[in-house]
Amino acid sequence: MKNKIYSMMMLALMLGFSSCSKDDEMEIDANTIEYDGTKSVLKKGALIDFDISPYYGTTDTHLNYDFYITDGAVITDNTGQIFDIQGKFGVWIWLESFGTTGGFKTGTYTFIDGVNDASLTDAQKKTKYENKLFMAGASVFLNTNVSTSFDSGNTQEIEIKSGSVTVSGSKPNYTITYDLVMENNKTVKGSYSAGFQAFVD
């Protein structure tokens, strides 16, 4: 009888440990980004509303939100405005949501390279951007110290080559899933759902 009770207790402990381990793994995976084979747990996010701007024509066409995620910290000044972002690893994305009413839209934002836009006619720009949710830029930031600013002269910044992100949820609790290829052909994959501190530029 004692052996039976002991066996049942051990089974319960093992099941409990297994359940906790799975929960911990799910929590980590939910805010983990993999870059070049290395996984980083992202702890903080910042969202900056840069308001609306025109991509063609003479009136505003898109609403710009920038998102930062980092394994370090989001630093604010004494007025509560964003001052700095620090970390060993972080990702920045520049998203443009079509339309000037109804707020920022969720969905999939695919990278569109605007480097040659100055050579396009207005009609060509309209074809390129009208009715589109798109990513205008993205970068990975790499530092040797978690307390180093992403603006530091020692920070390595790698810009985007192609890819997309999917945004779901609502401000400031968006979930963003990343699937990017950077200019060095290394990939950024994973998701972040730990919330964003929201700022207005």
pLDDT recorded at residue 29: 78
Q: What backbone torsions phi and psi does residue 154 show, to the nearest 5 degrees? A: -90, -5
Segment-wise mean pLDDT, segments of 10 residues, the chain, 201 residues: 42 42 50 96 97 96 98 96 97 97 96 97 98 98 95 95 98 97 98 97 90
The residue ranges of every structural domain in the chain are 32-200
Name the CA dihedral angle for 152, 75, 35, 31, rounded to a multiple of 10 degrees.
180
What is the Cα–Cα distance from 167 to 180, expressed in whole angstroms?
Answer: 14
Do residues 188 and 140 make contact, with C-beta atoms less than 8 angstroms apart? yes
pLDDT recorded at residue 30: 79
Instruction: List all residues 6 or more positions away from 25 whose beta carbon is below 8 Å from its beta carbon.
Output: none
pLDDT recorded at residue 139: 98
- Tokens 């390129």 map to which residue? 128
Partner residues linked to 38 by β-bridges:
35
Residue of 124, 115, 113 lying closest to 181 (CA atoms): 113
